Structures are given as C-alpha cells and as structure tokens.
Amino acid sequence: MQQTPQPDPIGWHGTTILCVRHEGHVAMAGDGQVTLGQTIIKGNARKVRRIGADGSVITGFAGATADAFTLLERLEAKLERFPNQLERACVELAKDWRMDRYLRRLEAMMAVADRERSFTLTGNGDVLEPEDGVIAIGSGGNYALAAARALMGAPGQTAEQIARRSLEIAADICVYTNRSIIVETL
C-alpha cells in the first residue's frame, strides 16, 4: 500500500525567493505574502535581507519563519568565523544543520549570495551552486525560475529587472505569491 504524503498540518505557505546573477551583478528578490491555509496572514513580510558585518551577503528564506531566523543567525556566526568565505560558511552551516538534533528539525530553505557565488542551502545538507546563476525557492519558485531563465536572454535587462519581473510573473500564477516585492542587489 502506497502512502500519500501528509499535508503540512499547520498549513503555512507563501514564499517566492529568486536570486539572479547576470552581467556581473546579483539581485535577490522575495515576495511578502505569508498564508495560513487559505488565509493571507501578512502581505509585506521581509524575506530577503543583507547579512554579514559589512552587508556583503544577501539571503532569502522559505519555510517556517522562526526556523529561518535561527538559520540566518547561525549563518552570520559562520561568516564571522570565516570572513569572506561564503562557501565555507555555508558548508559549515549545512554540516551543523544535518548533524545537530535540534537543527535537523528546522523546516526552511535558504538562498545565499555574495559578489562571487550563489548557493541554495537545505536541511538535507545540500549546498548547491546553480549552473546558470539563477536560484529559486519557495512555493512560487519554479514559476520565478522559469521566468528568470526566459528573461536572461532579453537584451538590456539588469539582474534587478529580471528578478523583479520574474517575481511579478510568479505572482500572476502562484496564489501563495504576491506583488509586495523586496529586492536586494550587489
């Protein structure tokens, strides 16, 4: 007998995060919608932010908010320990996340970028760098990813314009994504 996956008992949904690396620039965009079941709880949540002592790292998160903030704090601590070594800080966080009994229970994903590299971090211990410079996570992530890949070939588009327009397209398709978009750039 095949078991069907159980839906999230709390019913939290509502994030689209997109990171675009294009022509030497990086933009990370996130929508602001948080829902509980079929109800919008908040429309202007800030899911994209700068971290690090000098604000040289941008990150976006999807998943449980408290879990994401716990991971953000841990990543900041790793960046303090390994300054200017984003990959090493991410790998160290992923190791802790996978090995620590408390952290293993956290339900979130992160997109992280500095001027040189971009990564997706998961609770499975993954630190993934995209081949094409585009990362998308969250319920509307696949819509934003498809839009960004299509827009990357459009002439005259900046990383910020691609990220913003891609989230607008995702908002037109995904009911858990809205147009309250925050973009951080490097």
Contact by Cβ (8 Å): 31, 140: yes
How many angstroms separate the Cα of 145 from the Cα of each of 5, 26, 93? 25, 15, 25
185 found inside a domain: no
1 found inside a domain: no
Q: Please tell me which residue in 15, 16, 35, 177 is annotated as part of the active site.
A: 15
78 found inside a domain: yes
CATH assignment at residue 53: 3.60.20.10
Query: Where in the sequence is the domain holding 86, given as residue range(s)?
Result: 12-176
84-93 per-position pLDDT tens digit: 999 999 999 9
Residue appearing with tokens 């965009």: 29
152 found inside a domain: yes
115-139 per-position pLDDT tens digit: 999 999 987 888 999 999 999 999 9
Number of domains in the chain: 1
Is residue 15 part of the annotated active site? The answer reads yes
pTM of the model: 0.88
Rounded to whole angstroms, the Cα distance separating 165 from 144 reads: 9
